[in-house]
Amino acid sequence: METKEETFKCESCNRIFGSKEALEMHGAAKHPEKVPKDKKRFPVKKTRNWVIFILILGLVIFGVYFLMTSSNSFDDLPASEINIGSHKNIALHIHSDLEIKINNQGFPIPADIGIQTGIMRPLHTHDSSGEVHIEGPYARDFTIGEFFQIWNKTFNSTCIFENCIGTESNSTLKMSVNGQESQQFENHIMRDGDEIVIEFTSA
Ligand SMILES: [Zn+2]
Ligand SMILES: [Zn+2]
């Protein structure tokens, strides 16, 4: 067996062959009941187990990856694109009060902002009191800008609705949260119990 050239011995009759192919041909011809069973069936079965194992492993990895990426993209969605559907399965439910004054006139905030048949946005109103309901299927920060986006109205550091502070006029746009002036404007994160006042005054 220690020869330089590799030899192949038949396990059944001890005949020596110069190549694996020759041994296999011999085995198939002379010992069909032994060789094919031991040398062929077992490796095939082993390979099949490996293929199943790798397939399952692949599916698990893909599933975990899919869950991670899908929850990340859901986190990144603006509130105006999230549909919570109903008040079931709510993990977050807080309220802020919003008041808008245009030249000292209270601007009515309608009921059912963010609510249509089959659609309920995480930021919505149920009545016209100015109470904004902040409800999410999971806890997440929501900005007041997202509420205006759902309402389909403009609010930022220069404009409320179509009222904008011009460069020449002396109009002002102020925002206060719980009596404190805020420079956050649309980026203000709505917290439970916030009293938010947005006030526009033209010169
Ligand atoms: Zn509520
Ligand atoms: Zn609600």
Distance (angstroms) between ligand 1 centre and the Cα of 87 equals 9
Ligand found nearest the CA of 84: 2
Distance (angstroms) between ligand 2 centre and the Cα of 145 equals 18
Whole-model pTM over 0.85: no
- CATH code given to domain 82-201: 2.170.130.30
pLDDT tens column, 103-126: 999 999 999 999 999 999 999 999
Distance (angstroms) between ligand 1 centre and the Cα of 95 equals 6
pLDDT tens column, 30-56: 887 765 555 555 567 788 888 989 999
**Pick from 35, 122, 52: which is nearest to 87 by CA?**
122
Which DSSP string corresponds to the chain?
Answer: ---SS--EE-TTT--EESSHHHHHHHHHHH-TTTHHIIIIIHHHHHHHHHHHHHHHHHHHHHHHHHHHHHHHHHHHS-GGG----SSTT-SEEEEEEEEEEETTEEPP--TTTTEETTEE-SEE-SSSSSEEEEEESS----BHHHHHHHHT--BSSSEETTEE--SSS--EEEEEETTEE-S-GGGPBP-TT-EEEEEEE--
Number of neighbouring beta carbons within 10 Å of residue 29: 9
* Residues, Cβ < 5 Å to ion ligand 1: 133
**pLDDT by 10s per residue, the chain, length 203:** 555 678 888 888 888 888 888 888 888 888 877 655 555 555 677 888 889 899 999 898 888 777 766 554 556 789 999 999 999 888 999 999 999 999 999 999 999 999 999 999 999 999 999 999 999 988 899 999 999 999 999 999 999 999 999 866 789 999 999 999 999 999 999 999 999 999 999 97
